[in-house]
Each structure stands twice: as C-alpha cells, then as structure tokens.
Amino acid sequence: MTGYSITLRNAQLNAITTAVGNAGLCAIYDGARPATGGAATTKLAEFTLGTPFAPGAAAAVLSPALPSSATGLAAGTATWFRITTSGGTQVIDGSAGTSGTDMILDTAAIGVGQTVNMTAFTISRGNA
C-alpha cells in the first residue's frame, strides 16, 4: 500500500476547499446515490456553504464550516449529498444521514418547509 505524508494529505484536502470556492452549495438528496457526478435524485434541501469552504486541513482531516440551516424543498429521506461550486460544478458526492455517514444531519426525514441542520461533517484522507 502506498503511504502519503501528512503534508501531502493536507494539500490534497485543501484542494477541495479551492475547488468548492466561495459560497458553494450542498444539496441533500434521497434515494440511491448515483455514480459520482451522475444524475441526481430528488433534492430535499440545499445549504449555502461558507467562504471559504473550510479552514486549512490538519492531521489529514478537513473540517468544513457548518452552514446555517436549510429549508426542506421536498419530502423524503436524506441518503446522500452533492457539493458543487456556486455555479453548479460538481466537486464531492457522499453519504448523508443521522449517523454512520460522511455528513451528519439533525434529521434524515425531511419535509417541505422543515428546517434542516448539518450537525457534523469532516473529510479524511487516509493512506498514511
């Protein structure tokens, strides 16, 4: 297995912040996550992300600033997210829910008009 230094892993994570840019978007979806960048399912909510997306990575972990709450756009069960630039270019897809996922939400059951909060989100770079 290839091993990468902390410096390199932090740089790889910091490249995500650069790619997302200022005021990126994080859409929450239901259903099965498609192949990365594939056609999205039903958009349940959308967060506007921070400027910058995250402070510098440390110890091979990127901890994005948690955004303000979002409002439910459709009813469904949150299963995955897509982060894009403010212009809509896909950067990251991952799992979303209330536990055991890449992004933790305060509820997976989202309804129209419901307040949704992101409560935890980190991105780690392995291969030490």
Instruction: Name the residue ranges covered by the structural domains of the chain.
Output: 22-49+64-120
Of 124, 126, 120, give the one whose Cα is nearest residue 100.
120
Averages of pLDDT over runs of 10 residues in the chain (128 residues) are 91 97 97 93 97 95 96 98 97 94 95 98 87
Q: Are 49 and 83 in contact (CB under 8 A)?
A: yes
What average pLDDT does the structure give for the chain?
95
Backbone φ and ψ of 33, nearest 5°: -70, 130
